[in-house]
C-alpha cells in the first residue's frame, strides 16, 4: 500500500509514519514546518491571526488601548509586544524562551507562529520528530496543503490527513479555518476521481459535552471554533468525490505529545517544579487514549476498504477526570505537579466519552493501553529528552 501522511512531523503523525513503515507499506511523509519557518507571507498571516485573537480577548475599548500605549510612551518606553508593533525580529529560540517564561507564570501566550508543524507541534519538538523519522530512513517532504499543488499526494492508495490546527483555546482566528477546512477541501478535490482513499483525523470535540458514550450516529454540537472547523471538514469528506473515512480521536496522549497539551504540561511541571495551568476545577472527564492505540486504529482504517462516509470513534471507553489523571502523574513521578488555577477555556467541554462498538466491529480494534501504563511511557519519554 502506498500511503501519504500529512502532519507527519507532528505528535500522532510521526508515530503513524513509523507504524506504516513497520507494517511494510510505502510512505510519503508530508509536513509544512520548514516552509512556514521561512515564509514571510505565512508569518504575516499568522501575526494578523494572533493579533485578532488577542484583540478578541482584550476587553478594553480601542480608546483605552490607545491611552495605555500613550502612557507607556510617556514613561519613555514602548512596552507593546513586538507582534503588536507589526514586526517580531526575535530569534525563534527567543520566542520559545518567552513561551517558557509564560508557562512559568502559569499562562500560555504562545504565538501561533511558534506552532510550525502541520498539527501545531512547536519547532523544537518538530525537529526532534524529524530526527526520529530520519533514523527510520524517512525524509519529510515540505508541502503547504492550503496553497501547493496536491496532485502528487493523490498519486497513492490512501491519504491519511492528520495535518491541521489543533486546540480549543487558540482556535478563534482565521488560520483555524484555513488549516482545518481549506486544506481538507483541497485534498478531497485532488483525490476525487483517482481512486485514492482519504482518512480524515477528526476530533471528539464535534460532539460537544457527553452525558453518555457517544455513538457515531449521534448529532454533533461543536462548541469552539476548532470543533466547528472539524465538523466542517467532516462534511467536506462526506460530500466529496473520493472514498473517505472519518476517525474521531479522543484526548490522545503519550510520547511526543504537544507542549500545549495537559499531560505534557503536568509532567513538565512535576519535573521542573514550575506550576502548570489547570483550566477549571479538574472535574472535567475525558476518554484519554494512548497514541499507540490511536495509531493502530488509523493503520487499520487505511488497510481496510471501509464504505465511504464511515465515521469511527477512536478512543478509550473509560472516562477519567483531569484531577484523577493529575494524581496518577504525581504518583508515577513521586511528586505532585504544581498547578495554578485558571478559568475554564471557552468552548471546552465538561466530558468526552467514546462509544467504541463500531470500531471494534469494523476494525477489530479496542484501546488496549491502560492510563497508568501509557502515562509511565510518556513520563519516560520526557525524562529521556532531558538526558539529550
pLDDT at residue number 221: 96
Q: Given CA atoms 339, 97, 119, 137 in this order, what sign does their dihedral have?
A: negative
**Cβ count near 113 (within 10 Å):** 22
Confirm whether 196 is domain-assigned: yes
In a domain, 282, yes or no: no
| pLDDT at res. 126 | 65
Separation of CA 192 from chain center: 26
Alpha carbons 275 and 104: distance in angstroms, whole number: 6
> What is the C-alpha to C-alpha distance for residues 3 and 337, in angstroms, rounded to an integer?
40
| Least confident stretch, 124-128, 134-138, 307-311 | 124-128
From residue 146, alpha-carbon distances to 165, 210, 250, 332, 366 in Å are 12, 33, 26, 42, 34
Options 226, 249, 253, 290, the catalytic residue: 226
Domain with residue 184: its CATH number is 3.40.50.720
Residues 308-328, mean pLDDT to the nearest whole number: 98
Exposure letters 251-285 (e unless 16+ CB within 10 A, then b)? bbbbbbbbbbbbbbbbbbbbeeebbbbbbeebebb
Q: Annotated catalytic, 226?
A: yes
* Statement: residue 29 has pLDDT above 80: yes
Q: What percent of the chain has pLDDT over 90?
A: 67
Q: Is the pLDDT of residue 79 over 80?
A: no
Give me the pLDDT at residue 129, please.
78
- Residue 149 domain flag: yes
Q: Which of 2-16, 70-84, 190-204, 314-328 has the lowest mean pLDDT?
A: 70-84
- Of 31, 360, 347, nearest to 167 (Cα)? 347
- Split at pLDDT 50, 70, 90, the class of 119 is low
Q: What is the pLDDT of residue 57?
A: 47
- pLDDT score recorded for residue 64: 52
pLDDT reported for residue 38: 43
pLDDT at residue 33, rounded to an integer: 66
Percent of the residues in the chain that have a pLDDT greater than 70, as a whole number: 74
194 has pLDDT over 60: yes
The residue-averaged pLDDT of 90-100 equals 39
380 domain residue, yes or no: no
Confidence category of residue 98, pLDDT binned at 50, 70, 90: very low
Whether residue 202 lies inside any domain: the answer is: yes
State residue 276's pLDDT score: 97
- Asked whether residue 283 is domain-assigned, the answer is no
Kindly report the pTM of this predicted structure: 0.80
pLDDT at position 63 is 53
- Model confidence at 120, pLDDT cuts 50, 70, 90, reads low
Residue 132 in this model has a pLDDT that exceeds 80? no
pLDDT of residue 104: 41
CA–CA distance, 252 with 15 (Å, rounded to integer): 12
Residue span of the structural domain in which 188 resides = 2-43+108-249+291-315+361-368
Band of pLDDT at residue 83, cut at 50, 70 and 90:
very low
Regarding predicted confidence, which is higher, 26 or 140? 26
pLDDT, residue 339, reads 97
Over 80: is that where the pLDDT of 207 sits?
yes
Q: Is 144 a domain residue?
A: yes
Does residue 132 belong to any structural domain of this protein?
yes
pLDDT confidence of residue 170: 65
First to last CA, the chain: 35
CB contact at 8 A, 382 and 267: yes
Say how many domains are in the chain: 1
Q: What is the largest CA-CA distance in the chain?
A: 68
Amino acid at each position: 500500500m502506498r500511503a501519504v501522511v500529512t502532519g507527519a512531523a507532528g505528535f500522532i503523525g510521526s508515530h503513524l509514519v513509523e507504524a506504516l513503515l513497520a507494517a511494510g507499506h510505502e510512505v510519503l511523509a508530508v509536513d509544512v514546518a520548514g516552509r512556514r519557518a521561512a515564509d514571510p507571507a505565512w508569518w504575516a498571516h499568522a501575526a494578523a491571526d494572533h493579533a485578532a485573537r488577542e484583540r478578541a480577548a482584550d476587553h478594553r475599548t480601542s480608546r483605552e488601548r490607545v491611552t495605555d500605549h500613550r502612557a507607556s510612551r510617556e514613561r519613555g518606553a514602548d512596552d507593546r509586544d513586538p507582534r503588536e508593533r507589526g514586526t517580531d525580529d526575535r530569534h525563534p529560540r527567543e520566542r520559545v524562551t518567552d513561551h517558557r517564561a509564560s508557562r512559568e507564570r502559569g499562562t500560555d501566550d504562545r504565538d501561533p507562529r511558534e506552532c510550525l508543524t502541520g498539527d501545531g507541534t512547536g519547532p523544537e519538538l518538530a525537529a526532534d520528530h524529524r530526527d526520529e523519522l530520519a533514523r527510520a530512513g524517512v525524509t519529510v517532504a515540505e508541502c503547504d496543503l492550503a496553497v501547493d499543488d496536491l496532485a502528487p499526494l493523490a498519486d497513492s492508495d490512501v491519504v491519511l490527513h492528520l495535518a491541521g490546527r489543533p486546540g480549543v483555546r487558540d482556535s478563534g482566528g482565521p488560520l483555524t479555518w484555513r488549516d482545518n477546512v481549506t486544506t481538507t477541501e483541497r485534498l478531497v478535490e485532488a483525490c476525487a476521481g483517482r481512486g485514492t482513499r482519504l482518512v480524515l483525523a477528526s476530533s471528539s470535540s464535534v460532539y460537544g459535552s457527553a452525558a453518555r458514550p457517544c455513538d457515531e450516529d449521534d448529532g454533533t454540537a461543536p462548541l469552539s471554533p476548532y470543533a466547528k472547523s472539524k465538523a466542517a471538514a467532516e462534511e467536506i469528506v462526506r460530500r466529496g468525490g473520493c472514498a473517505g473515512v472519518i476517525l474521531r480521536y479522543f484526548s490522545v496522549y503519550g510520547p511526543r505529545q504537544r507542549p500545549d497539551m495537559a499531560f505534557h504540561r503536568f509532567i513538565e511541571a512535576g519535573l521542573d517544579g514550575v506550576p502548570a495551568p489547570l483550566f477549571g476545577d479538574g472535574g472535567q472527564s475525558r476518554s484519554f487514549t494512548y497514541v499507540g492505540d490511536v495509531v493502530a486504529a488509523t493503520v487499520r482504517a487505511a488497510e481496510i476498504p471501509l464504505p465511504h462516509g464511515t465515521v469511527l470513534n477512536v478512543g478509550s471507553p473509560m472516562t477519567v477526570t483531569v484531577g484523577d489523571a493529575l494524581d496518577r502523574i504525581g504518583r508515577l513521578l513521586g511528586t505532585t505537579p504544581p498547578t495554578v488555577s485558571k478559568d475554564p477555556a471557552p468552548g471546552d467541554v465538561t466530558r468526552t466519552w467514546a462509544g467504541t462498538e463500531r470500531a471494534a466491529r469494523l476494525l477489530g480494534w479496542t484501546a488496549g493501553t491502560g492510563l497508568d501504563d501509557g502515562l509511565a511511557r510518556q513520563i519516560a519519554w520526557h525524562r529521556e529528552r532531558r538526558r539529550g
